[in-house]
Amino acid sequence: MKQVTVVGAGLVGSLWSIYLAQRGYHVEVFERRADPRKTGIAEGRSINLALSDRGWAALEKVGMADAVRQSAIPMYRRVMHAVDGALSFQPYGKENQAIYSVSRGGLNRLLVEAAEAHPQVTVHFGHRCVDADVEQGRATFESADGTRDSNGEALFATDGAFSQVRAKMQRRDRFNYEQEYIDHGYKELHIPPAADGSHQLEREALHIWPRGQHMLIALPNPDGSFTCTLFFPMEGAESFEALQTVEAARAFFAAQFRDALDLMPDFEAQWAANPVASLVIIRCSPWNVGGKTVLFGDASHAIVPFYGQGMNSGFEDCRVFDAVLDDCGDDLDRAFAEFARKRKPDADAIAELAMRNFVEMRDLTAQPEFLLQKKIEARFSALHPGQWMPLYSQVTFSHIPYAQALAAGKRQDALMAQILARPNIAENWESEEVMAEMRRLLEATRA
Ligand SMILES: Cc1cc2nc3c(=O)[nH]c(=O)nc-3n(C[C@H](O)[C@H](O)[C@H](O)COP(=O)(O)OP(=O)(O)OC[C@H]3O[C@@H](n4cnc5c(N)ncnc54)[C@H](O)[C@@H]3O)c2cc1C
């Protein structure tokens, strides 16, 4: 069977190695980081991610979903925290639909261990890719023991947003590449468990403090803590740059996120210790060089985290790629080109959707009109199942290709703008008259 090389044992590379092994490939995986089990370095602060249906489906396909589910916490709704501490709520989907908080480190370890348990997979930690011959599907790695070349017949590059393999592809003629840092960066903070080990905020929810130009979010961890992320401009009057001292940061939190601050007894120490990181969007094409090298996951499409879809889309890459290999009978020349052709429009769409969701989360979730729109959509969708799936549900709870979801979402927004412009809509939104008008407008868009 084919011998192939995977660069990067992050979330996507480790899952993809399992897929490849189950297809019968021999896989050598090279990962820059040291093996955390051998260095004894603790994982430190818990950082979590939202896992949703696309990710679950990809895990399910290789039998990994049950193991991940053991420590995943369902988040059934958004809980919005106003400046005065008042709470409002918005379910993510229908009853029992949830997105799941999972530990990034725990999930990565689980996937790497499952890959390594496969006799056809070898993972080399402490091996940094320093060069790649993308036409030949070979790469060169540096480790404490020196330099070595891979000898697989193809290269799968899952080495993240700052991919070394992609850097080599960029030198090729007609390779398109776009890298955009958004104005906002982020800092992670931590809300510890209560004295009895319980969660200090509602456990099965994603908490948001939407404040217009910035926001704080919090996702639950199994140990009773929450990981919070502040998304904030990097520069300007209200920015990380402007918060020069921990005292200034505390004053800002006291004014903006009082209820969260009250749950962080060591706020000053955390603020000083935790780094500010930037957020980047990467677009590039083509993703492949013949049947020899292909990029996927963040290496080909890094997006901002506001739809919680970066990892999910990378996991979906694995499922889509696997199906393409089936269709192409494992002919890599055909499969690499077909995967890139099929998947690129979806990657572009989720990049756009993720930026749109940033505006929704930081700004719109605090606006009554937005909440009203969501209520009307939910009611219509409950009355007419199958006729209206809210955009969030299409992205999060379905496998509809992202590009189709984006197009449908734009049609829905245009229709909802007409509904929200109706007189007294805040009072009569549940009426049969409004529902009938939605049916009529929907019919008209289909005509
Ligand atoms: C703040 C934040 C919150 C997020 N929240 C979510 C969320 O809720 N839900 C979601 O779905 N996504 C989320 N994401 C996105 C998600 O983290 C990424 O999409 C995901 O990690 C991509 O996986 P990957 O394997 O492609 O890349 P990575 O996770 O970056 O893994 C790349 C791997 O390659 C290794 N590597 C890099 N360079 C080399 C080299 N030269 N040689 C060898 N190895 C190398 C790295 O060490 C790493 O292990 C979030 C991202 C951020 C920044």
Domain's final residue, options 251, 278, 305: 278
Last residue of a domain, one of 227, 251, 278: 278
| 202 within 8 A of 79, measured Cβ to Cβ | yes
Q: Are residues 52 and 122 in the same domain?
A: yes
pLDDT at 363: 72
Test site for ligand 1: of 28, 46, 311, most ligand atoms within 8 A of the Cβ: 311
CA of 298 to the centre of ligand 1 (A): 6
Residue 331 is assigned to a structural domain of this protein = yes
Task: Point out the ligand 1 atom lying closest to the alpha carbon of residue 310.
Answer: 19
Ligand 1 atom 27, closest CA? 160
Same domain, 391 and 334: no
ipTM of the complex: 0.99
Q: Say how many Å lie between the CA of residue 232 and the centre of ligand 1.
A: 21
Residues 15 and 151 grouped into a single domain = yes
* Distance (Å, whole) CA 14 – CA 67: 15
Residues 240 and 373 both lie in one domain: no
173 and 291 co-located in one domain = yes
Same domain, 209 and 288: no
Kindly list the strands in the beta sheet with 26-30, ordered across the sheet, starting from the edge strand earlier in the chain.
Answer: 121-124, 26-30, 3-7, 155-157, 293-295, 288-289
Do 392 and 267 share a structural domain?
no
Residue bearing tokens 């997006």: 303
Output the CA 8–ligand 1 centroid distance in Å: 10
pLDDT at 45: 59
Q: What residue ranges line ligand 1, CB within 6 angstroms? A: 7-13, 30-33, 49-50, 128-129, 158-160, 164, 186, 229, 297-299, 305, 308-312, 314
In a domain? residue 87: no
- Distance separating alpha carbons of residues 417 and 354, to the nearest angstrom: 21
193 within domain boundaries: yes
How much distance in Å is there from the Cα of 198 to the middle of ligand 1?
Answer: 30
Please identify, by atom number, the ligand 1 atom nearest to the C-alpha of residue 299.
26
- 238 and 212 co-located in one domain: yes
Same domain, yes or no, for 173 and 185? no
Query: What residues make up the domain containing 187?
Result: 181-278
Q: At what angle do helices 104-116 and 11-22 cross, to 10 degrees?
A: 30
Domain count, the chain: 3
36 shares a domain with 8: yes
d(CA 419, CA 256): 33
Is 238 within the bounds of a domain? Answer: yes
* 274 and 206, same domain (yes or no): yes
The residue contributing the CA closest to ligand 1 atom 9 is 308
pLDDT in tens for each of the 447 residues of the chain?
799 999 999 999 999 999 999 999 999 999 999 987 776 544 555 789 999 999 999 999 999 999 999 999 999 999 999 999 999 998 888 878 999 999 999 999 999 999 999 999 999 999 999 999 999 999 999 999 999 999 999 999 999 999 999 999 999 999 999 999 999 999 999 999 999 999 999 999 999 999 988 999 999 999 999 999 999 999 999 999 999 899 999 999 999 999 999 999 999 999 999 999 999 999 999 999 999 999 999 999 999 999 999 999 999 999 999 999 999 999 999 999 999 999 999 999 999 999 998 887 777 766 888 889 989 998 999 899 888 998 999 999 999 999 999 999 999 999 999 999 999 999 999 999 999 999 999 998 877
Residue 446: per-residue pLDDT = 78
Query: What are the distances in angstroms from CA 243 to CA 30, 238, 258?
Result: 40, 8, 17
CA 282 to ligand 1 center in whole angstroms: 13
Radius of gyration of the chain (CA): 23
**Which atom number of ligand 1 is nearest to the Cα of residue 161?**
30
Give pLDDT, residue 39.
Answer: 66
The verdict on 41 and 167 lying in the same domain is yes
For residue 210, being part of any structural domain is answered with yes
Encoded tokens for 364: 């719109």
Domain closes at, from 357, 392, 418: 357
Three-state DSSP at 324 gives: helix
Residue (of 102, 80, 103) closest to 91 by Cα position: 80
Atom of ligand 1 nearest to the CA of 13: 25
Cα–ligand 1 centroid distance for 314 (angstroms): 9
